[in-house]
Amino acid sequence: MDMSAIRNDFPTIRRKEGVYLDSACQSLRPDKVIRAILEYYEDFPSCGGRSVHGMSAKVSLVTDEARERAAEFFGTDDPECYIFTKNCTEGINTVARGFGLRRGDVVVTTDTEHNSNHVPWTLLSEEAGVKRRYSVSAGDGEFDAENFKSAMGKDVKLVSIHHASNVTGCVLPIREAAEIAHDAGAKILIDGSQAAPHMKVDLKKADVDFYSLSVHKMLGPSGMGILYGKRECMEDLKPLTTGGGTVGLATYDRVDLAPIPDKFEAGLQNYSGIAGTKAALEYLSDIGMDRIREHDRDLMWSIFKRTEGIKGLSIVGPDDPDRRCGVFSFNINGLYPHDIAMMLDKMDNIMIRSGMHCAHPFFESRGIGGSARASVYLYNNETDIERFAAALCKMAETFGGR
């Protein structure tokens, strides 16, 4: 697949500013997204949904169009079910705090969640007596459907699991998980941060109740996320924050919350970010998510092939490239993950992530101190992988095993 023309849409790649393999943290942005952000500030830098002048009307129009693009992108037909958040973390916390969980209610997660989908539930357990139950994964992080079923019960009110792991890349069967959750009478929330940028996600077919994601991982602006929920679920959900824009009418002693989506979007919004989100979704749609997934898979196969002979290298997660969803987490004997990342940066300006990737329980439970992580996206190519593997090989030969 020839994706070389796409690389010209990204400023840092045009300027040859190194090899960016840290997209699981935050993606680069194409010209189209950058222009959309600048157009807001240059052409209609106003607020939406309040004033009646033309500039404000333009902001409201772009906001509505962004919701429509999101609904189309994710295969649903109700744009009002999409709210704009700062990131996936805020979306998960909105559900955690607004779902109405009570003492004794059970929340089921997997044992391989990102802290964004672990910490909120742990704090609710400490503060409100909500119970936690874990679906135990295989040693390589692969989802265990039978163990997940055994974790379910009539006391489970909510399931909250990731769609794809940011450490192992393992993709969970969210439609199957939704069926199991619904059979038990529970709702299901999906952390889609790692999956949404890399594959086609049809939320109607998946039949999940909530889906949260970070737009900044899928070519959109920093500080932008989306939370989707079925209409009845969003209407029942309490907002995380309230204030201007979230009410129909407020008196001295009564507040009538506005209908969705307004009740969730308190105060003035990140309108430039919303404009950039619209542009990012359009850009990805024009390329095609199936094409992006195939490109990611090709790059994963290339990484595995080019690194298989590196002395002392061990892979965190499954050793099948088809199960990695764009991430390659690894260690080299004798080197700390942060040392690997810093040396790659100094040796050939290759940018990766190192540490526990905000998935502390995964590493702690397996006795692993962390890992280095290279993550690919649509703008990476074979030359990037060749440079990464060559630098890694030289590093391992020179410094590994000490």
The residues carrying an active-site annotation are 358
Going along 43-89, which residue ranges are E strands? 82-85
Cis peptide before 79 (omega within 30 of 0): no
Inter-CA distances, 313 with 37, 96, 161, 326, Å: 42, 39, 30, 18
Radius of gyration of the chain (CA): 22
**Largest Cα span, the chain:** 71
Q: Locate tokens 């077919």: which residue?
A: 205
Token reading at 327: 């991430």
Handedness of CA 166, 128, 266, 82 (dihedral sign): positive
- Phi, psi of 172, rounded to the nearest 5 degrees: -90, 145
Q: Is the dihedral of CA 300, 302, 303, 305 positive or negative?
A: positive
Entry field: residues in the chain: 402
Please say whether the beta carbons of 240 and 97 come within 8 A.
yes
How far apart CA 269 and CA 278 sit, in angstroms, is: 14
Residues 265/267/270/271 CA torsion (nearest 10 deg): 90
| 156 φ, ψ (degrees, to nearest 5) | -80, 125
Residues 6+ apart with CB under 8 A from 136: 110, 111, 144, 147
Query: Distance (Å, rounded) from C-alpha 145 to C-alpha 135?
Result: 9
How large is the angle between the packed helices 54-73 and 271-287, nearest 10 degrees?
Answer: 40
Q: Dihedral sign, CA of 160, 161, 163, 164?
A: positive
Strand-pairing partners, residue 19, are 350
Whole-angstrom distance, CA of residue 169 vs CA of residue 324: 4
Element spanning 203, H or E: helix 203-206
